[in-house]
Homo-oligomer: A and B are copies of this chain.
């Protein structure tokens, strides 16, 4: 950030009174500008023995496979964000979404929240996907998974499925 979004004057870095971190502070109007981590919400759509993956049509990870997920928007809930991304990227409806993995990536200031869910009916690639397909565990393209968050969530799911118990998992990706 170079300029104040309120008044357009330059900002400088300073530790405000009562704070202990450098912030972008406006040199003119004094507004303190905060920057905070962003939630990435998505789903793990399951149908019978298979899970749905999307092949990315955009960078980063063009051509690699991922779960439908994206930035949560203002005005929506985490579940709504996850379902919207699933519609947009996979043309898919899901139900019974249950929070399954919460994965912090402090390096990128992201918090992933992935909801295990039941795929309902048909699906089709959205504009951000080259392809959308269902995979059995043995067919998962492990060397072509776009993100560690997705790899981690899939591994946990197949482990938990052995016992039929899917507790929330929280972890950090450094």
Residue numbers of A with Cβ under 8 A of B are 1-11, 18, 21, 33-39, 71-80, 99, 102, 104, 106, 109, 111, 113, 127, 168, 170, 172
Contacts and interface: CB of A to CB of B under 8 A. Distances in A.
Contacts of A106: 75-77, 80
A2 B5 contact: yes
Nearest to A105: B77
B78 A104 contact: yes
B39 A37 contact: yes
A106 B78 CA distance: 9
Query: Chain copies in the assembly?
Result: 2
A73 B5 contact: no
Contacts of A38: 36
Nearest to A8: B3
Contacts of A36: 38-39, 71-74
Contact of A5 (B1, B127, B168): B1
A65 to B, nearest CB: 21
Contacts of A37: 39, 72-74
Interface centre among A6, A10, A77 (most CB of B within 10 A): A77
Interface centre among A7, A8, A75 (most CB of B within 10 A): A8
22 contacts: A2-B5, A2-B6, A2-B7, A3-B4, A3-B7, A8-B8, A8-B10, A18-B127, A35-B74, A36-B38, A36-B72, A36-B73, A37-B74, A39-B39, A39-B111, A74-B109, A75-B106, A75-B109, A76-B106, A77-B172, A78-B102, A79-B170
